[in-house]
Chains A and B, each alone.
Chain A
Amino acid sequence: MKKIEAIVRKSKFEEVRVALHEADIDFLSWWEVKGQGTAKQGLIFRGISYDVNTIDRVFISFVVRDINVEKSINAILKVAYTGESGDGRIFVSEIGQSIRVRTGDHGDESLYDKNNSKI
């Protein structure tokens, strides 16, 4: 089991969500975050252009079985890319255990629907 976390542009989040859905990843959490990096967000206030030192991004997090890691990453890479500074990062980490609260299933079984063998 792996946890995949991705930081993507706010403007690309909808596409990432659709791409993950098409890759059969239907369970994910996300939250809006502020961060800093090399990218700047330019704004104008009463005739003065300025950069805010925080940039808005969406942080996505989900856990998949090992066999789904590669296609999840590819789904994100395909649509989150613009080529400009600030496209974001993907992190993959080990997950020790997973338990589905409703059924009490442990491990891989807790991560997919047994009646729907797609994932």
Chain B
Amino acid sequence: MIKKYLKYIGLPVGLSMVLPVLTFAQDSTAVVAKAVEAIVPAVAASPVPFISAGNTAWMIVATALVMLMTIPGLALFYGGLVRSKNILNILMQCFILTAVISIEWVVFGYSNAFGSSTGFLAPYIGGFDWAFLNGIGINDVSPYYISQATERIPHLVFVMFQCMFAVITPALIIGAFAERIKFRGFLIFSVLWAILVYNPVAHWVWSADGWLFKLGALDFAGGTVVHINAGIAALVMAVMLGKRKLPSGQHITPPNNIPFVVIGAALLWFGWFGFNAGSGLAADGLAANAFLVTHIAAASAALSWALLDWFINKKPTVVGISTGAVAGLVAITPAAGFVGVGSAIIIGLLVSVFCFFMVSVVKGKLGYDDSLDAFGVHGIGGIWGAIATGLFASPLIQSAYSGAFAGNPKQLGIQLIAIGATILYSGVLTVILFKIVEKTLGIRATEEEEISGLDITQHDEIAYNDAD
């Protein structure tokens, strides 16, 4: 079985030999990048930072784009993949997370993730100074910036931008436990997970006080914080909840609405421009690079998945090309502010190979039921993206950061530490939270609920009604 696939691995590997040449050709024409730093807190810089109208305008739009990724983007992507008796449950899960995590974020989530703290908690989680956004005025400049130290955005825009990231991360996990979870169990689990897993990991990687940030881990837009974090939680949930009850001999369920899958994937792609190009927190050249590499990696991965389908199963599939595009977007996320367009093509072409292999071969062999491949796409794509950032980071994009191929192999080691720490923490905490919710409220839907469908049993609604 594996041998059957091995012959196809030659193609992307061969391409990856050729593509670095293109990368260097492009890099040599690039102008010398400005010396910039990753997210750092305000230090007493001599020019007083102020709110730039241009940067603010772009970041408000970017924030709205990121919201579009959860509802309706991810909601339709996942909703189209499940059976018609469960689509409303998926849409509802995405919608309620948008509501409830947003509230959690302003109450204390933002403060835990991005606030400062003292004592033994300092490198692991922020305190409560900014709870209820206490002390953040409408004219305050954001303490966080990437390349624009002086021309900043309002602190409140940064809060909102990060809020959308906090919303989408637990929503990604939905793909793993789709079609067999009790709604109340899901809701409590997701809120606890956001508080106890997302907020600390965001603090580790992005807060100026975070231990992975201080170590020098690179994660431009959330490959580790969002995708690996959610991907590992997804794997744990899929294993612990157990398989869906499917008719005997059936392992796969046909998607109920593939056009929805396409609309969802396309909206994710579109929204991802805000996610990645917004993560520079400014409308500048770095944002332009993130915009470019995000698009090209998605295109490469979509093409690569379609070709794999075509070679291996004889037909290019619509679910396949949509999945490939999402995998490409996942993989470029941590790298978007550090790599050039040539690297983006390689990252995109290869991520589909890894994810395709994972969902079509490995998942079947291991036998866990990750209904919609949240781990296979976000976990595997995120891990590849984090490694790729350590390999391909180019000083021509941000002069302070180089990867192994630019003569800094240490960066790869740091990336591996960040990946390992996130896998370990997210994995262990997800097991604990699952057990707590299972013992208290119950989390697995009953067999009858599962067979009747979660739409009618959890929400008393049916998606497609015949009544006219």
Binding site for B on A (CB under 8 A): 43-50, 52-53
B313: A residues at CB distance < 8 A: 44, 47, 49
- Give the nearest-CB partner of A52 in chain B: B254
Contact B320 A43 (CB under 8 A): no
Assess whether A50 is in contact with B252, with CB atoms less than 8 Å apart: yes
The answer to the question of B323 belonging to the interface, with a C-beta cut-off of 8 Å to chain A, is: yes
Q: Which of A46, A52, A53 contacts B323 (CB 8 A)?
A: A46
Check A45/B254 contact, CB under 8 A, given A53-B247, A53-B249: yes
Chain B residues touching A, range? 20 to 34
In the complex, A80 Cα to B254 Cα: how many Å? 27
Give B372 Cβ to nearest chain A Cβ, in Å. 9
Which residues B330-368 have CB closer than 8 A to chain A? 356, 359-361, 364
B contacts, CB < 8 Å to A: 247, 249-252, 254-255, 308-309, 312-313, 315, 317, 319-320, 323, 356, 359-361, 364, 373, 376
A-side contacts of B249, CB under 8 Å: 53
Is the beta-carbon distance between A48 and B252 smaller than 8 angstroms? yes
Chain A min CB distance to B313 (Å):
5
Could you say which of B308, B313, B361 has the most chain A C-beta atoms within 10 Å of its C-beta? B313
Contact B360 A48 (CB under 8 A): yes
Measured in the bound complex, the distance between the Cα atoms of B313 and A53 in whole Å is 20
> Closest Cβ of chain A: how far from B24's Cβ, in Å?
33
Chain B: interface secondary structure? helix
A88 to chain B, nearest CB (A): 22
A contact residues around B250 at 8 Å (CB):
50, 52-53
- Which partner residue on chain A sits nearest B247 by CB separation? A53
Kindly state the separation between the CA atoms of A9 and B87 in the bound complex, as whole angstroms.
Answer: 29
| 19 A-B contacts (beta carbon < 8 Å) | A43-B254, A44-B309, A45-B252, A45-B254, A45-B255, A46-B359, A47-B313, A47-B320, A47-B359, A47-B360, A47-B361, A48-B251, A48-B252, A50-B250, A50-B251, A50-B252, A52-B254, A53-B249, A53-B250
Assess A47 versus B356: contact at CB under 8 Å? Given A52-B254, A53-B250. Answer: yes
Selected from A46, A49, A50, the residue in CB contact (under 8 A) with B320 is: A46
Residues on B with C-beta less than 8 A from A50 are 250-252
Quick check: A44 and B317 within 8 Å, CB to CB? yes
Q: Nearest 6 pairs between A and B by C-beta?
A: A47-B360, A50-B252, A46-B359, A44-B313, A45-B252, A48-B360
Output the least CB separation between A50 and chain B (Å): 5
The interface centre, meaning the residue of B252, B319, B360, B373 with most chain A CB atoms within 10 A of its CB, is B252
CB proximity of B6 to chain A, nearest CB, Å? 15
Closest A residue to B313 by beta carbon equals A44
Q: Which residues of A contact B360 (CB under 8 A)?
A: 46-48
Determine how close the nearest CB of chain B comes to the CB of A45; give it in whole angstroms: 5
Complex contacts, A46 vs chain B, CB 8 Å: 317, 319-320, 323, 356, 359-360, 373, 376
In the complex, residue of chain A having the shortest beta-carbon distance to the beta carbon of B320: A46
Give A47 to B317 CA distance when docked, in angstroms.
9
Residues of chain A contacted by B252 (CB below 8 angstroms) = 45, 48, 50
Residues of chain B within 8 A of A45, CB atoms compared: 252, 254-255, 317, 319
In whole Å, how far is A111's beta carbon from the nearest beta carbon of chain B?
Answer: 30
Q: Which residue of B lies closest to A49 (CB)?
A: B313
For residue A47, which residues in chain B have a CB less than 8 angstroms away from its CB? 308-309, 312-313, 320, 356, 359-361
Most buried by B among A44, A45, A53: A45
A52 to B312, CA, bound (A): 20
Q: From residue A104, how far is it (CB to closest CB) to chain B in Å?
A: 31
Query: How long is the Cα–Cα vector from A18 to B252 in the complex, in angstroms?
Result: 37
Q: How far is the CA of A44 from the CA of B254 in the complex (A)?
A: 9
A-side contacts of B323, CB under 8 Å:
46
What A residues does B309 contact at CB under 8 A? Answer: 44, 47
User: Which residue on B lies nearest to A48, using beta carbons?
Assistant: B360
A53 proximity list for chain B (CB < 8 A): 247, 249-250
Known: A46-B360, A47-B313, A52-B254. 14 other contacts (CB 8 A): A44-B317, A44-B320, A45-B255, A46-B317, A46-B319, A46-B320, A46-B373, A47-B359, A47-B360, A48-B364, A49-B313, A50-B251, A50-B252, A53-B247
Cα-based distance from A63 to B368 in the complex (angstroms):
52
Residue of A nearest to B323 (CB): A46
Shortest CB-to-CB span from B295 to chain A, Å, is 23
B192: shortest Cβ distance to chain A, in Å?
30
Complex alpha-carbon distance, A107 and B323, angstroms: 59
Q: Separation in Å of the A38 CB from the closest CB of chain B?
A: 15
Smallest distance from the beta carbon of B358 to chain A beta carbons, Å? 10
Q: How far is the CB of A91 from chain B (nearest CB, A)?
A: 27
The smallest C-beta distance from B305 to any residue of chain A, in angstroms, reads 9
Closest beta carbon of chain B to A13's beta carbon, Å: 21
Chain B residues with CB under 8 Å of A52's CB are 250, 254
